[in-house]
Structures are given as structure tokens and as C-alpha cells.
């Protein structure tokens, strides 16, 4: 059983040593533990520091592409490196490294496909009351979208079984945390939350520039991903809103037509009712078409999963070629560098 711990980094020369040194050297049930740093176009000495720390694999993205794409690049590189389990942690040393063992235990026991570290956001001292409330609200929204209990939706400390990682395709350019949970729900993967500890804050979050920006981007991500995987529900809900409005206005006109001699004065309501009903029907039909398109998308996702699995199985059979495959897969968007062995 091989575990790869990936660390997306962007200008983390100061905090990367703290994060890497806090990671466990051995875990019961795991034969090999390797580390993987994804450098997201850093302008400081992050890559040099990673080499000095003897990181097993270093992925250097040519430019800054954001956390979501860096995370996806790390998943693909970890799979090519032969990982059976992939753990993602933040480079700012937010999470307690020894709790990696807690994350992988449900996967080793066969209880979960994905395990997420629950920070207990409602009790974190360095979170303001407003931020705690927003974190809990966001988790509730993701819970509705994904279909399972979500105590900590934005936690980046999480573990993926190999098959679960193969099914993840992050398309967001903002963050992977919300999208992967909704995808997991759509794929009916088993998710477990385990309590984890956090270290004292080393710096302010770069992902949350301001609370309004964070709220807007998170909600847009949730709506977009949910609409991708549940289009019929989304469009039927919107269409039902228009239909309900149209029916209400139509009944209003009918009431005045039957009870008042001045029904002609309410023709505007009848026209608006007709427009709303037509819009509702059209939106519902769009939802039906989107749902049919979604069937093709699910077939493509299944084909992509099988293709990825076959590629990785072939690489496993020819382990000497694994490094070449890892470099070739990232050649267009990243360069892959391995640290020189220390004397």
C-alpha cells in the first residue's frame, strides 16, 4: 500500500519546511510514504526548499494557475507515481501532520472512498464569528447539493482512495473543496469525516481575499457544479417558479372574469400569465435536454475513468517507465523534477 501526500504550494518557502517536517514517516498498514509538492508558479524559493527537504516528487507549473488546477495536477501526478491513497494538505501548516494516520484509517479499513478532516470550524478561535457562521452555512449548502452530511465543506485536509481520485475532474479555477464533494455525491462515493487538529495560524488565507468575494465565488461554484450533475432538478425548479407565477395570475384573471363586470381591465394579467407559463415550459424543456446531455456526460466520465485506470495499470506493470510517464503527462503544463539525493 503506497501513500502519496501532496502539498500544493504558492510562495511557501517559509511554511513548507514546517508542513513537510510534521508529516509522518510511517503509518500502520502503509508500506511506502512519499511526498509530492506542486509548485503553482511560485516566485520565491519554494522549489529550492522542496529539494533541500528531499521531497519525493516536485511538480513545477510554468505559471500561477490557482489552487484548484494545482490540486488536479497533483492528483494526476500522484496517481502516475503509483499511489494507492492520496492525501492532500495545505502548505501553510494549518493541519496537524500526524493526523494523516486518522485520514487514511477509514480507507485502509475499506469503509470510505474519501475521508475529509473535520476541523470543528464552529470552535476555531482564529475564525471570526462571521467566518464561523459562513463556514457552517456553506457546509449546509454543500450538504444539500451533495446529498450527505458535510460538517466541514472547505477543509483541504482530505484523503482519496485511488479509484476515487481517478473519478475526480476539477474544472473550477477557484477551489477544489466544494466541487470534489458534489462530484463524490454524484458518483455515489462513500465519504467519511474524521476530527483533525489544526496548528496555530502562520499567515492569512490567500484563497479568501474578502468575505463577500469568497461567498460569491463559493456560491457560483456550488450552483455551477450542482447544475452540471443535477440539471433536471435545477431547471425544473426555475421552470416551476415561472409556472407558479403564471398560474397564479391566470387564476386571478379568471376570478375577476367570473365575478366582475370589468374583467377587461385585467387583460394585462392574462398576457403576463401566458408569458410566464410559456417561459416555465421552455425552461423545463431545457432541463430535460440538459438531463439527456448529462447522460452522455456520465458515459464520457465512465469512459475516462476506465481509460485512466487502464493507463495506470499498464504503468504499474512497467514500473521502470513510471518516471517517464509522469514527466510526459505533465510536459505541456508543468515540468517534473526530482530532488538530487543527499550525500
> Is the pLDDT score of 89 beyond 90?
yes
Q: Which residues pair with 94 in a beta bridge?
A: none
State the pLDDT confidence band at 60, using cuts at 50, 70 and 90. Answer: very high
Distance CA 31, CA 113 (A): 19
CA angle 142, 307, 172 (to 5 degrees): 30
pTM of the model: 0.76
Q: Give residue-wise pLDDT tens across range 225-234.
A: 778 878 888 8
Q: Which residue is associated with the grid cell 505533465?
A: 330
- Kindly indicate whether the domain formed by 2-211 is annotated with CATH number 3.20.20.100: no
The residue ranges of every structural domain in the chain are 2-211
Phi and psi torsions of 118, nearest 5°: -95, 110
Give the residue from 302, 303, 328 showing the smallest Cα distance to 315: 328
Q: Which pLDDT score is estimated for 124?
A: 58
State the pLDDT confidence band at 208, using cuts at 50, 70 and 90. Answer: low
Alpha-helix runs per DSSP H in the chain: 16-21, 46-52, 67-80, 100-108, 129-146, 162-167, 177-186, 211-229, 231-259, 267-317, 322-329
Q: Which pLDDT score is estimated for 343?
A: 36
Give the residue from 40, 161, 169 showing the smallest Cα distance to 107: 161
Q: Per this entry, what is the length of the chain?
A: 343
Spatial contact of 104 and 115, defined as CB atoms under 8 Å apart: yes
Q: What number is the average pLDDT over the span 229-245?
A: 90
Q: Which pLDDT score is estimated for 236?
A: 92
Q: What number is the average pLDDT over the span 164-180?
A: 85
Q: 149: helix, coil or strand?
A: coil
Distance CA 54, CA 137 (A): 40
Distance CA 54, CA 307 (A): 32
Q: In Å, how far from its chain's centre is CA 267? A: 50
Amino acid at each position: 500500500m503506497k501513500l502519496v501526500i501532496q502539498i500544493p504550494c504558492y510562495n511557501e518557502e517559509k511554511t513548507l519546511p514546517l508542513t513537510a517536517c510534521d508529516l509522518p514517516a510511517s503509518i500502520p498498514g502503509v508500506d511506502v510514504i512519499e511526498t509530492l509538492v506542486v509548485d503553482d508558479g511560485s516566485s520565491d524559493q519554494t522549489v529550492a526548499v522542496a529539494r533541500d527537504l528531499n521531497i519525493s516528487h516536485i511538480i513545477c507549473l510554468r505559471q500561477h494557475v490557482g489552487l484548484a488546477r494545482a490540486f488536479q495536477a497533483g492528483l494526476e501526478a500522484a496517481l502516475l507515481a503509483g499511489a494507492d491513497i492520496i492525501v492532500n494538505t495545505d502548505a501553510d501548516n494549518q493541519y496537524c501532520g500526524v493526523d494523516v494516520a486518522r485520514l487514511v484509517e477509514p480507507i485502509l479499513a475499506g469503509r470510505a472512498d474519501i475521508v475529509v478532516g473535520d476541523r470543528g470550524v464552529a470552535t476555531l478561535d482564529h475564525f471570526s464569528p462571521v467566518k464561523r457562521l459562513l463556514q457552517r452555512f456553506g457546509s449546509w449548502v454543500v450538504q444539500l447539493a451533495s446529498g450527505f452530511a458535510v460538517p466541514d465543506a472547505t477543509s483541504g485536509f482530505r484523503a482519496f482512495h485511488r479509484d476515487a481520485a481517478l473519478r475526480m475532474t476539477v474544472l473550477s479555477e477557484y477551489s477544489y473543496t466544494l466541487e470534489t464533494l458534489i462530484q463524490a455525491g454524484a458518483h455515489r462515493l462513500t465519504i467519511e469525516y474524521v476530527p483533525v487538529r489544526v496548528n496555530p495560524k502562520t499567515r492569512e488565507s490567500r484563497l479568501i481575499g474578502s468575505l463577500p468575494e469568497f461567498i460569491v465565488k463559493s456560491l457560483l461554484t456550488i450552483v455551477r457544479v450542482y447544475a452540471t450533475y443535477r440539471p433536471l432538478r435545477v431547471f425544473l425548479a426555475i421552470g416551476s417558479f415561472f409556472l407558479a407565477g403564471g398560474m397564479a395570475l391566470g387564476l386571478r384573471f379568471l376570478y375577476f372574469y367570473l365575478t366582475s363586470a370589468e374583467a377587461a381591465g385585467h387583460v394585462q394579467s392574462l398576457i403576463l400569465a401566458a408569458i410566464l407559463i410559456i417561459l416555465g415550459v421552455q425552461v423545463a424543456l431545457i432541463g430535460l435536454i440538459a438531463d439527456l446531455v448529462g447522460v452522455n456526460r456520465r458515459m464520457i466520465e465512465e469512459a475516462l475513468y476506465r481509460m485512466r485506470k487502464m493507463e495506470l495499470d499498464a504503468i504499474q506493470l512497467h514500473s521502470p517507465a513510471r518516471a517517464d510517464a509522469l514527466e510526459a503527462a505533465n510536459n505541456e503544463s508543468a515540468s517534473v523534477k526530482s530532488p538530487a539525493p543527499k550525500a
